Structure 1
């Protein structure tokens, strides 16, 4: 059995929801754009209606829970080191970035295949026209 958490926050100009779930397959996150500020009933109705169509990021291995909680100052120092070293964002932000990168790669390969198919079609059309010219009318 896993845990899930929904966080509603304002990213100018829209209200968004970060739906995080963690289970035995790993940690995954989904970003939901609400537009205007949603009421609790609207969020609940949205989740009930669109549960099957939510696009979660690929599961990442879940972080092991630390045995003892760290002091707030230590956590603050570690967070500062992470942001300075380039490890940006929270676990949810990193998972969303990974999902975005994978979508970008899929789009790039799809457009490249379309471009190659179009070039092949044009080549075949030119070849056919050349043959027609050689045959005469």
Structure 2
């Protein structure tokens, strides 16, 4: 049995999920504006089972038991390692942000190279000018 409480925009709702005899059943309970921890605890300890018994009108959805085939531990380890190697992008927004960061990094490296070259050229011009001035006797 599992109780999940969420806010639907107006009230706090408790979603009760119950599995018995290979049948999945879900119930909805409205707590109100802002339930205190004590209210939720009282509901779970005193009223939850009565609420389920009173609202048990549907048969539920049958759950099919899936037999899990035993996987070799080494194969499982290789599978996990392979999944960890692959980059996992969860949304288009993250992908766009990564592309933008890569673009900025590339742009920054190009501007840094250009600035370095300009500085080297400036220093070289100063040295050349100094050597010309020495040659002229200044």
TM bucket (normalised to shorter chain) is 0.3 to 0.5
Which structure would you say has the larger Rg?
Answer: 2
Higher relative contact order (CA 8 A, sep 6+): 1
TM-score, length-scaled by structure 2? 0.40
